[in-house]
Amino acid sequence: MARRPATTTPARRANLSSEQMRTGLKRLNRREKDLRAFDVNTVNDHGDQNAEALRNRYNDTIAEVFGDDTHEHDLYRSWEFDQGPHVMSYGYGQPSNLHEIRVGYRRGVGEALTHIATIRQLFGEKLEDFGDNPVARVTHAFGELDIHPAIAAAAGKLVEDGHYANAVEDACKALEALVHQRSGLATPSHTFDAGRFQFEQSSSKTYEPGCNSV
């Protein structure tokens, strides 16, 4: 009986906050300096240890920025700096040409630099969108979830920046205010401003907040 091919779960997409992207850019800038400082003319053969150490540091940075279980990690990691031809002579023929070896390392390092430039451009565009476009900020924070605009306005920035406890508290307050607005019951005694939604006390009835029990 033929065995069914194993199915693999697609890697998740990294959903970084603006603060995470800014921190990631700082880390990538440091790694870019290391890559540009590396002199391929110091390479004398395949398997150069200095180049391999640099590649490992670059890959560690990519994992720190995106998470090692993400699509972006698989996309931007370096699989090999040593991209020159490998000749298996077994004692016969000519060994690998040193020039070709160095060209291969230059290609591998250049590929990593290209990845950093691509990430920097993508992060720059996203940060610009978040700063100028509230809709883009909310979409980034909540993805495809159907979130009421008042709740998104109250908690979106906190979710994006990773302040989840505060986001839950503010979202709960926004939900309470919405319920009271729609139901016509007494509103909380405090004034709540969720973006452009503002609800103020309109009744003297006693109100017991339910958010603390959530």
Asked if the model's pLDDT at residue 160 lies above 80, the reply is no
pLDDT confidence of 2, banded at 50, 70, 90?
low
Distance CA 65, CA 32 (A): 14
- For the chain, report the end-to-end CA distance as a whole number of angstroms: 53
Distance CA 202, CA 92 (A): 93
The percentage of the chain sitting over the pLDDT mark of 70, rounded to a whole number, equals: 57
For the stretch 167-199, pLDDT in tens is 677 777 777 776 766 666 555 544 444 444 444
pLDDT confidence of 6, banded at 50, 70, 90?
low
Distance CA 212, CA 135 (A): 29
Report how far apart, in Å, the C-alpha atoms of 41 and of each of 45, 48, 75, 191 are: 11, 11, 28, 68
pTM: 0.58
Average pLDDT over residues 88-115: 82
